[in-house]
Structure 1
Amino acid sequence: MFIFDNKNIPSQLLLPSNSDEDINILIGENGSGKSTLLNDLSKFHLGQNYNVIAIANTIYDKFNSRNLHFKILRSSLGKTLARNTIVNAFKILANDDLKRLRNIANTLEYIGFDPVISFKLKGVNPDFRDKVIDSELPGEEIEILMYFLNRYVDREFYEEKIVNINFNNEKFEDIKNSYLLTMFLYEKQLKSLKLIRGIDIYLHKNNQHIPLNKASSGELTLVTSLIYLTSVITENSVILIDEPENSLHPKWQIEYITRINNLFYFYQPKIIVATHSPLIINGAEMNSQNLKIFKGTNGNFILELNEKINVEEIYQEYFDVTTPENRYLSENLIDKMNLLASKNIGLDEFLKEINNIQDNSYDEKQKKLLDEVLEMGKKIITDLE
């Protein structure tokens, strides 16, 4: 049995408030106890019979619960994470409701995609009819697979053999009752009988098919985490997110918490985010009415009495990084990173401008901060490739 020692934990982190906005941010240096606290909070809330959803964006997360009410999305699962998340979401859709469908559309459009996901069977065996009939599958499954495969290979039904689902246009009952979900419900059987080699998944941008593995790491990170939340969230869930800024475009960092709250507020979740990103904090402060920020030292977390402040103040107040008070500099750096991420300037131009700012800086800590900005720029380009 898990014994939760809450003597150093602010009471605001314990139990959902059952309101439309319950947003909490954990900050502190590496080793301050943020990841340990997230794991402890997951066990505490599970012990109170709440559903807990964890999103771990580092390979060293400390979540270790095996409770049936605990759901986790781990970035350490690698390249198959996005595909598996989308497939599992479609399986869940078979027994769920319309609002989850709308959230998938909203998620795709927010990231810049069309509200469409497409699927294509790879290597359909032309002898599938004989193989299905000769298999040892139950009669009901044979009937389902025969209907599905016959309909899929009917060129009059779909000439290109790529199946589209438009989440803005399709009705939930049409998708629920469609053979489309059979792809995922019976994928394992289809492959084991060598009826197909696999299933390709495509996103859409400007009406063009984009193979899932060709999207940028930042796009996949956001698509995966938001679709995952869409598929598993329930009323009064507790959402725990560790370092969401990894791979995310600066614009998405600023809007991250607002986007999650806008998509899922009607479930009234408790959201607890551990982050090193001033942009995530700045965005939350600008758009949240009930934000709480807790600063940790050696496992002891204290509620900060904060007002809406700019990025330089956030570095100073929350991360103990001193920079000259200069709102123009922060806005200029964000603008440069947005231009770089949107490919309106190249990496060489970005590096040149940041180096010029650094050469003119008289503060050693500010120069160190600009070194981090240079590395962020290089990472943005790597993520876009």
Structure 2
Amino acid sequence: MSIFNIKNIPSQLLFPSNSDEDINILIGENGSGKSTLLNDISKFHLSQNSKVIAIANTIYDKFNSRNSRFKILRSSTGKTLARNTIVNAFKILAKDDLKRLRNVANTLVYIGFDPVISLKIKGVNPEFREKLIDSELTSEEKEHLLYYLNRYIDRAFHKENIVDINFTNEKFEDLKNSYLLTMFLYEKQLKSLKLISGINIYLHKNNQHIPLNKASSGELTLVTSLIYLTSVITENCVILIDEPENSLHPKWQIEYITRLNELFYFYQPKIIVATHSPLIINGAEINIQNIKIFKGANGNFILEENEKINVEEIYQEYFDVTTPENRYLSENLIDKMNLLASKDIGLDKFTEEIKNIQDNSYDDKQIKLLDEVLVMGRKIINDLE
């Protein structure tokens, strides 16, 4: 039986989602317990017979659930992760519903690619027909493989042997049953019979084919994780994502939660994201109505009640970091001095709060400015006396 600590899980994260916008974010410093909490959440929902999908973008994830309803994509599996994920997704998509196929198109366009994935079969044996006939495969398997290889060779002629799969094909039923997707079901058999040496995968941008391994790390991270979700998501499941900001361009960080919601809202999942990125939070707060943010320390996570849509404010309030050239800080200091002048707070409280901000600052000019603010605070009190 899986062991988890239900007392550490905020009550809002225990209930299944009955909404198409159930977005939750966990924040806190390293060591605050975010990864441990995600693991406890996975085990709790599995105990409630829910399906749980986890995406771990760090090699230090703590997911250790063992259950047929637990699906996980780990970045620690190495360089072949993107290819293996896409191939496994195609094996599912070749025989599944059409909205998943549409999500592949939407995912690729979101990342900046054309809604096309291409393949190239390497090392087609010129005697593949004879070798197939002489193999020990069933008559049905021989018929299928012969059909697929002949179709591929016909399509690949005069095209550098690269054939496109266009996921915006108007005849989606044809695409669903496409021999191109089904080729991946037989790749292992084709290689073992030495009929081919492998299948290369390409992305497509500006009318150019880009080998999958030549895409940037950020592009591969997004393609891999979103296509993985597309292939395994089911209604009312729980999605747990650990540090999605790894390798992501700032623009993608800002849009990450919004796009995630747009791609999968109709499945009504409960989405829980652990992050260190103010940009992910800022983008989510601007575009998602019912987002919940939980700030943690020493394994205890509390729901934040304040609405914040300013990155500087997020740095200060959520991550305890004071940034240079911080407009929010300026407004905050003025508010504190007004409270001091109106005697709504005392000098000791004023000094404590300014010192706390100063301790979190990493800019020498800002630290010096805060010293001057402390002097001004004492002057305000002296003038009042």
Question: Shorter-normalised TM-score: what interval?
Answer: 0.7 to 0.9
- Work out whether 1:285 is the aligned partner of 2:288: no
2:92 paired residue number:
92
Give the whole-Å Cα distance in 2 for the aligned partners of 1:136 and 1:52: 40
- Residue 7 of structure 1 aligns to a residue whose secondary structure is helix
Q: Does the 8 A contact of 2:22 with 2:290 survive in 1?
A: yes
1:105 paired residue number:
105
- The two structures have a TM-score, normalised by structure 2, of 0.83
- Whichever residue aligns with residue 224 of structure 1, its letter is T
Alignment of 1:184-333 (within 5 A): 184-323=184-323, 326-327=326-327
Aligned partner (choices 362, 365, 369) of residue 365 of structure 2 = 362
- Whichever residue aligns with residue 39 of structure 1, its letter is N
Distance 1:116 1:364, change over 3 A: farther
1:49 paired residue number:
49
Quote the offset at 1:200 in angstroms.
0.7
Quote the offset at 1:359 in angstroms.
12
RMSD: 2.2
1:159 paired residue number:
158
Q: Does the 8 A contact of 1:108 with 1:115 survive in 2?
A: yes
Quote the offset at 1:171 in angstroms.
2.5
- Whichever residue aligns with residue 306 of structure 2, its letter is N
Give the whole-Å Cα distance in 2 for the aligned partners of 1:72 and 1:60: 14
User: Structure 1: which 5+ residue stretches go unaligned?
Assistant: 330-357, 367-385
Residues 38-60 of structure 1: per-residue CA shift (max 9 Å, x gap)? 01111111111111110000011
- Residue 154 of structure 1 aligns to a residue whose secondary structure is helix
Give the whole-Å Cα distance in 2 for the aligned partners of 1:7 and 1:93: 39
Give the whole-Å Cα distance in 2 for the aligned partners of 1:359 and 1:266: 44
Q: Does the 8 A contact of 2:75 with 2:81 survive in 1?
A: yes
Quote the offset at 1:3 in angstroms.
4.1
Give the whole-Å Cα distance in 1 for the aligned partners of 2:312 and 2:150: 62
Give the whole-Å Cα distance in 1 for the aligned partners of 2:222 and 2:135: 41
Indicate the larger mover: 66-75 or 2-11. 2-11
Distance 1:365 1:23, change over 3 A: farther
Q: Does the 8 A contact of 1:56 with 1:242 survive in 2?
A: yes
Identity in percent: 85
Quote the offset at 1:148 in angstroms.
1.4
The number of residues matched between the two structures is: 337
Give the whole-Å Cα distance in 1 for the aligned partners of 2:189 and 2:41: 39
- Whichever residue aligns with residue 41 of structure 1, its letter is I
Quote the offset at 1:65 in angstroms.
1.6
Quote the offset at 1:16 in angstroms.
2.0
Q: Does the 8 A contact of 1:312 with 1:324 survive in 2?
A: no
Residues 174-208 of structure 1: per-residue CA shift (max 9 Å, x gap)? 12322212310000001111111110111111111
Give the whole-Å Cα distance in 2 for the aligned partners of 1:88 and 1:245: 24
Q: Does the 8 A contact of 2:258 with 2:287 survive in 1?
A: yes
1:146 paired residue number:
146
Quote the offset at 1:328 in angstroms.
9.7
Distance 1:208 1:17, change over 3 A: same
Q: Does the 8 A contact of 1:322 with 1:365 survive in 2?
A: no
Distance 1:2 1:250, change over 3 A: same
1:121 paired residue number:
121
Distance 1:216 1:364, change over 3 A: farther
- Whichever residue aligns with residue 115 of structure 1, its letter is P
- Whichever residue aligns with residue 158 of structure 2, its letter is E
Quote the offset at 1:172 in angstroms.
2.6
